[in-house]
Amino acid sequence: MTAWLMTNLIAAALLPPLLLVLLLAAGLVLCRRRRRLAISLILLSTAALYALSTPWVGGLLQKTLEISMPVSPADLATADAIVVLGGGRRVAAAEYGGDTVNGFSLERLRYAAFLHRASGLPILASGGKPGGGTLAEGRIMQHILQNEYGIAASWAEDASLTTWDNARLSAALLKNKGVRRIVLVTHAWHLRRAVPLFEAQGLDVVPAGLQFSGTRPDSILDLLPTPAGLRDSSLALHEWLGILWYKLRTSRT
């Protein structure tokens, strides 16, 4: 079992929905022997599942990760390059006849293309092959930029498995090209983890987030549980777990 797979299995067990399923199962197992504890676990897991599944709570959690406003033209004018981080792949996608990017990566790629057209800055696409597959994410993004947006990405980093790898490997490539200040494109909820990692590699970073969250419910529907709400909450908690892990990892070195 690879270190990447083991890390993701541990993370899944510490995050919803699997963590809530485990708590609920523990409550059911303990029903006869520890009834009060069992009822507490069942109520806790049910209440947490409801709350974390609402779009409002998902938005609040993601808002805690946002560290900047949308990037401005003045910020773009001070940078040397755009770095767009991969957000995942679909391996062996039947309709494309091979590996392609998922929705998160495509959203980031579209915004990177938008910023490139506004600034003329060169683009580095960063992402490897976590979980296997044939094509690295950085290479897929490079092909999409060329074939679907008519933009030639100047560089592709294709060996990273984590955000820490994105920063380490991209920085080495960029410094060799004389790049010192970058516009970092990723989702707004990913910036709190990603920006410090790139800065630790000696780069000046202009955060360029997308999909900023709101903190007020737009309608009563935002207070009802939905699959999208649970996804947003899980993404936010995954980021906070990743931030904690990187801090622990850094403190040991």
Please give the pLDDT value at position 252: 65
Say how far apart CA 57 and CA 231 lie, in whole Å: 11
Please give the pLDDT value at position 253: 57
pTM above 0.85, yes or no: yes
Sequence-ordered list of residues with C-beta below 8 angstroms from that of 151, at least 6 positions apart, any chain: 113, 116, 117, 123, 145
Q: How do the domains of the chain map onto residue ranges?
A: 3-64+224-252, 73-210
Please give the pLDDT value at position 240: 97
Please give the pLDDT value at position 32: 86
Of 138, 158, 130, whose CA–CA distance to 11 is shortest?
130
Say how far apart CA 189 and CA 194 lie, in whole Å: 10
Tens-digit pLDDT profile for residues 42-60? 999 999 999 999 999 999 9
Q: What DSSP assignment string belongs to 92-140?
A: EETTTTEEEE-HHHHHHHHHHHHHHHHH---EEEE---TT--SS-HHHH
Which of the listed CATH numbers 3.30.420.40, 3.40.605.10, 3.40.50.2300, 3.40.50.620 matches domain 73-210? Answer: 3.40.50.620
Sequence-ordered list of residues with C-beta below 8 angstroms from that of 28, at least 6 positions apart, any chain: 38, 42
Low-confidence residues of the chain: pLDDT under 70? 1, 252-253
Say how far apart CA 236 and CA 16 lie, in whole Å: 11
Q: How far is CA 247 from the centre of its chain?
A: 17
Please give the pLDDT value at position 60: 97
Say how far apart CA 137 and CA 146 lie, in whole Å: 14
Please give the pLDDT value at position 8: 85
Please give the pLDDT value at position 104: 97
- The single residue listed with the structure tokens 């579209």 is 110
**Where do the DSSP E strands lie in the chain?**
81-85, 89-93, 98-101, 123-126, 155-157, 181-187, 204-210
- The single residue listed with the structure tokens 């392609």 is 100
Sequence-ordered list of residues with C-beta below 8 angstroms from that of 45, at least 6 positions apart, any chain: 20, 21, 23, 24, 27
Q: How far is CA 120 from the centre of its chain?
A: 26
Of 249, 252, 109, whose CA–CA distance to 185 is shortest?
109
